[in-house]
A and B are shown apart, each in its own frame.
Chain A
Amino acid sequence: MAMHEERLRRLREQGLLTPEQEDRLRESLQPLSPERGVGMRRMPRRKWWPALVVLLGAILAGLVWGFLVGGEVTAPQDVSAILNIEGGTGSMNRWTGTLLGMLLFLVLPLVVWTLLYNSLVGKEERVLEAWAQVETSYQRRSDLVPALVETVSRYLRHERETLERVTEERSEGLSGLQAMTEDLVQAQQRSAELLREHAGQPPEDEEALLALSQAQAQVGAQMRRFFGLTESYPQLRSADQFLRLQAQLEGTENRINVARSRFNESVRDFNRSIRALPGSLVAAAGDFRRKAYFRADEESHQVPVLGY
């Protein structure tokens, strides 16, 4: 945040931001809550009945196994009778057999259950990791807002103040600067609020994700609009400083697209696992819920070409 302070102050002093806009922009640029990040799975309220069913089933199966497979009651077992007898086998104590059967039917499902559960946890962690990357990319774009406002505004004002050949079109562009700054600050504020609401956890319903995505799309669109102000300044657009800003903006948009795409892939993998058998049984017991996707039409997949 400290990196923005100096720039925000400068923007206000130069009259590029009103004090109110400065405050709103500062607030929206606050980093997301520190506890955000990977491995923040909210512990679900686990259902106890599947475990009870498994336990009772295992006891029942063990008893049946014991009675069907176990030998006659010969306790204590006389092992001397079977020693050194070619091809001979001892009859197992029925209760020992029952116990082994119970263990077999209890342990095997438990192992399978554990493996499935751990697999789901791993996939959900990958979704959270992918979400963290989406957040980081959005945050990165937000961090560029003050630099964009300052660079574009400073160049345009410099042109107006130093050059007499200001066409009417350029003057209109300048007069719209304040309105565009306000639109950009508003879009940034709205998207920051929504992003903060979902810090560390992707929205679970499609509507919330759609709202967040649309708010972010607004920020991107406003930034491109702001950038578009420079269309009629070919000299400015070929300057190295401008090239740097342009590269940062395009790079950030590309990172957002890559992060969204990878988030969708991990969500698809997770959702498939919790819907297919036997994973769906474990998912129901472990309260693993379906995750929402980004939709293709929410924000353009094409990285905007800002001009070269």
Chain B
Amino acid sequence: MMRRAFLPAVIVLVLAMLYVSGLYLFNEWRPWLDDTSPRVVDDTELLSGSERRRITEFHELLQQDYGIDYRVLVVSRVGNLDRYAADRFGALSVGDRTAGGRGLLLVLDQGRDEVRLEVSRALEGVFTDAFVAYIEQRQMVPFFAANRVSDGILATTEMIVDRAREARAQQAFDDEPGKAVSLGAGARAPARLGEGAEAKSTARMPSIPSLDTPPAAILAYVEAMDARNSNPELPFYSEASRKLMRDWVVTPAQMDNAVRSYRQCSTEPLELIVQDDRAVMRYPPSARRCHPWFAVFEDEAWRLDLVAMQRLVRFGRGNAWHFPPQQRGEGYAFGFKDWTFDGHGYPRQQPAR
């Protein structure tokens, strides 16, 4: 009799325990169960489907490589963007699907023409407010002004990847167990959507560079970038490069990056290979992030062939350079005859001699 009386109570107790433990597990695993939630939400249809997919793919790689959950939200108009971003960060559980609470949320308010990148507490030390303001204003916004929203987001993500790589090398990530939270870190900037690309600089270089050797053209280019001179008519550009540069969005951050990248590679030996009126300047294949330079002899001077560089030199994960698959440098292939490449176009570590 006692057993009969207790049975319903035991069943109720077991069910209650199952319910409570189920709730707990659901909450714990929700971020991973929820992994299908979109990385890009565009309420205003500012981005096309293919642009959303490109950003999604790129941001998925960012999570795979650096454990950073980076979401993008395009909204029509919100009251206070700072407050909205902090609230949405929590509501969307940004960063919860990572182990260390690493989350970033980009909110673009089309109506108010403002953009804000919200940073989780765990990432505050890596992506400081000053850094975020810099990449917004010096990299993202110039693309937005030229009506290239998707390119602006992707170009900024590249800088985020670069910074994340440095942080990992310096062990600067300050991971936090548990839920990712935002304390209001990040920065807001005017988006300047469609305002029109900034007028190109017409500034000349302080002194006319001597372009009698191909490396001299590189030095002149770095000097101009260091002065943030985006004038497309500078003498170290080839004729085709000038044409290209006139339509290109050149941001201050890109110019800074070009200088930094060159200086980082300056410890590597630069090898010069000349054939007729063309020259290849290359670093050893072990320097994977140091891309080769191409120059052409035009009007009695060596000038950089940025058109060929832009067409032939690509950058993969980890910022390692490579040729497009099945291509070996086209008109500059003579400079890589003694190298071998893998199926994806990456140079192999040991050149085959």
Q: Is the CB of B130 within 8 A of A250?
A: no
How many Å from the CB of B80 to the closest CB on chain A? 7
A255 at the interface (CB under 8 A from B): yes
Given the known interface contacts A87-B1, A243-B137, the answer about A258 and B184 at a Cβ–Cβ threshold of 8 Å is: yes
Which of B1, B80, B134, B187 sits near A302, CB closer than 8 Å?
B80
Which of B86, B134, B190 sits near A308, CB closer than 8 Å?
B190
Which of B134, B182, B187, B190 sits near A250, CB closer than 8 Å?
B187
Q: Is the CB of A243 within 8 A of B133?
A: yes
Which of B80, B86, B130, B183 sits near A247, CB closer than 8 Å?
B130
Tell me the chain A residues, 239-270 only, with Cβ under 8 Å from chain B.
240, 243-244, 246-248, 250-252, 254-259, 261
Query: Which residue on chain B has the smallest CB distance to residue A243?
Result: B133
Tell me the chain B residues, 180-204 only, with Cβ under 8 Å from chain A.
182-190
Q: Is the CB of B129 within 8 A of A301?
A: no
Q: Is the CB of B185 within 8 A of A251?
A: yes
What 0/1 pattern do residues 226 to 247 of A give for CB contact below 8 A with B? 0000000000000010011011
Query: Which residue on chain A has the smallest CB distance to residue B182?
Result: A258
Given the known interface contacts A257-B184, A259-B183, the answer about A247 and B133 at a Cβ–Cβ threshold of 8 Å is: yes
Given the known interface contacts A243-B137, A308-B137, A308-B190, the answer about A258 and B183 at a Cβ–Cβ threshold of 8 Å is: yes
Q: Is the CB of B187 within 8 A of A261?
A: no
Instruction: Count B-side interface residues using an 8 Å CB cutoff.
Output: 21
How many Å from the CB of B13 to the closest CB on chain A? 16
By size class, the interface of chain A is: 20 to 34
How many Å from the CB of A209 to the closest CB on chain B? 20
A303 at the interface (CB under 8 A from B): yes
B83 at the interface (CB under 8 A from A): yes
Given the known interface contacts A243-B134, A308-B189, the answer about A251 and B184 at a Cβ–Cβ threshold of 8 Å is: yes
How many Å from the CB of B258 to the closest CB on chain A? 16
What 0/1 pattern do residues 126 to 157 of A give for CB contact below 8 A with B? 00000001000100000000000000000000
How many Å from the CB of B265 to the closest CB on chain A? 23
Q: Is the CB of B129 within 8 A of A261?
A: no
Q: Is the CB of A255 within 8 A of B184?
A: yes
Q: Is the CB of A303 within 8 A of B82?
A: yes
7 tightest CB-CB pairs across the interface, nearest first?
A251-B129, A247-B133, A258-B184, A244-B130, A255-B184, A254-B184, A247-B129
19 further interface pairs, Cβ-Cβ under 8 Å (given A243-B130, A254-B82, A255-B183): A137-B183, A247-B132, A247-B134, A248-B130, A250-B187, A250-B188, A251-B129, A251-B185, A251-B187, A254-B86, A254-B186, A255-B185, A257-B184, A259-B183, A261-B83, A301-B80, A302-B80, A303-B188, A308-B190
- Please, could you name 13 A-B residue pairs with CB atoms under 8 Å apart, sorted by A? A243-B130, A243-B134, A244-B133, A250-B129, A250-B188, A254-B82, A257-B82, A258-B83, A258-B86, A258-B183, A259-B183, A302-B80, A308-B137
